[in-house]
Amino acid sequence: MTLDETMHGFPQLATAMPVWHGTVEAKPFRDLCEEVRRSGGKLVALWGSDETARENGYALHAALITVRGMLCLSLPIAVDRPAFPDISDLFPGANRMQRAVADMLGLHALGSDDQRKWLRHASWPGDVHPLRKSFDAANKFPTDSDAYAFVPVSGDGVHEIPVGPVHAGTIEPGHFRFSIIGERVLRLEQRLGYTHKGIEKRFEQMTLTQGAKLAGRISGDSTVAYAWAYAQAVESVTGAQPSARALALRGVLLELERIHNHLGDLGYLGNDVALAFGFAQFWILKEDALRMNGELFGHRYLMDKVLPGGVSCDLDERGCERIRQLLSHLENEVSVLRNIYDEHAGAQDRFLSTGRVSPDLAAQLGLTGMAGRASGQAWDLRAQFPCAPYDQLEVNMATHRNGDVAARVTVRFEELSESIRLIRRLLDLLPAGELQIAVGNAPDKAFGIGWVEGWRGEVLVALHTAPDNAIHRLHPHDPSWQNWPVLEHAIIGNIVPDFPLINKSFNLSYSGQDL
């Protein structure tokens, strides 16, 4: 049976995106993963859930993407044998997800040679698993020592530089262990998980309505993407269908979010090569965008604007005009700045060939989102599986084959212009309709998916419901999960002082992959 036939043999979810969901045993689970890998597909997310309260043991869930859409697989796991087949040989990005499942739920990847902890530091003991239903959140644990086995690199003249988790600048915490020879990096190993907040556990105490607010706070720079993905998941389990106007407004908000993030990153990339001029100019533009957001929508970063059933804001003719003005201003300024970046010999010398991820390597490691597109990975949900409002817009995907910092800069510039075009189209087409419709009740044990192309890449929210509109398990998945390990490869062979620039060109979320 081909992959397509198997996939279509499973029930399709009633969601805006093409998603099929099936429950399978361990053997077919692994076989289907192999099949997806062979057909050029990728792993989007991997998470576990505790079904013991339903007397059903545990379960492991995997979201895989193929050219046809998403295939979600659920694998039941017995309580007395908490293990599942290792798939990190097929999808290298699965390694950290599997280790996180082991930390949070005590389910282990059978046959994986990397059984180290990932998200757990010294704050709770190894035999305590916070996402189990039997876990008591009121428990306090003594702080233990955090022994972690970094992969040692030996050889003549090789030495290590430990960096972080506290940095000289105001950035998120993460530890980087460089093995270097002279200034050349032989190996980088990351140790993340310093931002654990218990968000997934908190969701389980919430109803579907309450969860919307928390979903918007998982990753502040992608609040629209997360809120939309959450809303999509809730709408798919309740069967709610937001109006065309609400969907168009969501599109405007998501593209505005993409614009201000790309502007900020382009500024930071200038700053990292000490071109402080570019930094100041792009951040003036970003500030213009944020102020307009605050003025029109009441929140600079657009939090709580997308809600299940619709949106909580509206645009009148004056508001549309205000956005159009900003877009023209941005378009003019950015084209001038792009010329300056492109023609600045010093900046180009730093950007070109730095931190290169070849298309082959990107495909092998499953590089996703904006960084993936800069390495020839042509995946963009807005173009491939366009749901409303993108189905009327014919989104042009920006891709590049070089995979270096310069390519990621170029893709950002191109996505910026594309977002400007998309917002203009959306404003021109803005249909009438209700802003928010009432969301009905969700059945127990329902499964919903929200899947949105945020500025960093595809944001996934997987929702398992409990009775009375409560959340049984909710897994928000940031594209940073897939891309952090690729960064370890991007730096190999580069020199130490280029790391901040390479890191910034990916700009991954520390907090988004450590809930």
Partner 1 sequence: MNLSALLFQLLQDTLVVLAAPLLLGWVNQCRAWLQNRSGAGVLQPYRKLIKLFHKDAVLAHNASPLFRFMPYILFACMWLAAALVPVLATDLPLSPAVDVIALVGIFALARVFISLAAMDIGTAFGTLGARREMLVGFLAEPALLMVFFTASVISHSTSLITIVETLAHTQFVLYPSLAFAAVAFVMVLLAENARIPVDNPSTHLELTMIHEAMILEYSARHLALIEWASALKLLAYITIGIALFLPWGIAAADHWSALPIALVALFVKLTAAGAGLALLETLSAKMRIFRVPEFMGTAFLLAVLGMLTHFLLGS
Residues that bind partner 1 (CB under 8 A): 160-163, 167-170, 183, 270, 272-277, 279-281, 284, 344, 346-347, 349-350, 495-500
Q: Which is nearer to partner 1, 349 or 394 (CB)?
A: 349
Q: Which residues contact 283 (CB under 8 A, 6 or more apart)?
A: 263, 264, 267
In three-state form (DSSP H/G/I as H, E/B as E, the rest C), the secondary structure along 74-114 is EEEECCCCCEEECCCCCCCCHHHHHHHHHHHHCCEEECCCC
Range list of β-strands (E), 337-421: none
Give least dist CB 352 to partner 1, A. Answer: 11
Shortest distance (Å) from residue 279 CB to partner 1 = 8
Nearest to partner 1 of 16, 491 (CB atom)? 491
* Residue among 396, 107, 415, 111 at smallest CA distance from 260: 415
The smaller minimum CB distance to partner 1, of residues 151 and 284, is found at: 284
Of 41 and 355, which CB lies nearer to partner 1 in the complex structure?
355
Taking a C-beta distance cutoff of 8 angstroms, is the pair 451, 232 a contact?
yes
The answer to whether 32 touches 71, Cβ cutoff 8 Å, is: yes
Comparing CB distances to partner 1, the nearer of 40 and 346 is 346
Q: How far apart are CA 145 and CA 166, in angstroms?
A: 18
- In the complex with partner 1, the residue whose CB is nearer, 86 or 404, is 404
Q: State the chain's maximal CA–CA distance in angstroms.
A: 70
User: In whole angstroms, what is the distance from residue 503 CA to residue 137 CA?
Assistant: 35
Taking the least distance from each CB to partner 1, the nearer of 80 and 343 is: 343
Minimum CB distance to partner 1, residue 169 (Å): 3
Contact residues for 184 (Cβ-Cβ < 8 A; gap 6+): 493, 494, 495, 496
For residue 382, the SS3 value is helix
Distance CA 482, CA 505 (A): 15
Shortest CB 52 distance to partner 1, Å: 46
Residue 273 CB, nearest approach to partner 1 (Å): 4
Contacts of 468 (CB under 8 A, 6+ apart): 207
Give whichever of 5 and 156 is closer to partner 1, judged by the CB atom: 156
Q: Which is nearer to partner 1, 227 or 337 (CB)?
A: 337
Q: How far is the CB of 161 from partner 1 (least distance, A)?
A: 4
Cis ω on the peptide bond leading into residue 479 (within 30° of 0)?
no
Q: Which lies closer to partner 1 via its Cβ, residue 352 or residue 387?
A: 352
How far is CA 339 from each of CA 332, 342, 409, 479, rounded to the nearest angstrom?
11, 5, 12, 30
Pairing of strands 19-23, 69-77: parallel
Shortest distance (Å) from residue 344 CB to partner 1? 6
Compute the distance between CA of residue 399 and CA of residue 211 in angstroms, rounded to an integer: 35
In whole angstroms, how close is the CB of 281 to partner 1 at the nearest point?
A: 7
Q: How far is the CB of 423 from partner 1 (least distance, A)?
A: 26
Q: Strand, coil or helix: what is 259?
A: helix
Q: Which two tokens stand for residue 415?
A: 């996505």
* Spatial separation of the C-alpha atoms in residues 458 and 301, rounded to whole Å: 19
In the complex, what is the shortest distance from the CB of residue 399 to partner 1, in angstroms, rounded to a whole number? Answer: 26
Residue of 430, 433, 425 whose CA lies nearest to 393: 425
Q: In this complex, which beta carbon is closest to partner 1, that of residue 22 or of residue 500?
A: 500
- Rounded Cα gap, residues 217 and 213, in angstroms: 7
| Nearest-approach distance from CB 496 to partner 1, in angstroms | 5
Which C-beta is closer to partner 1: that of 78 or that of 274?
274
Beta carbon of residue 514, minimum distance to partner 1 (angstroms, whole number) = 22
Termini Cα distance of the chain: 38
d(CA 504, CA 515): 21
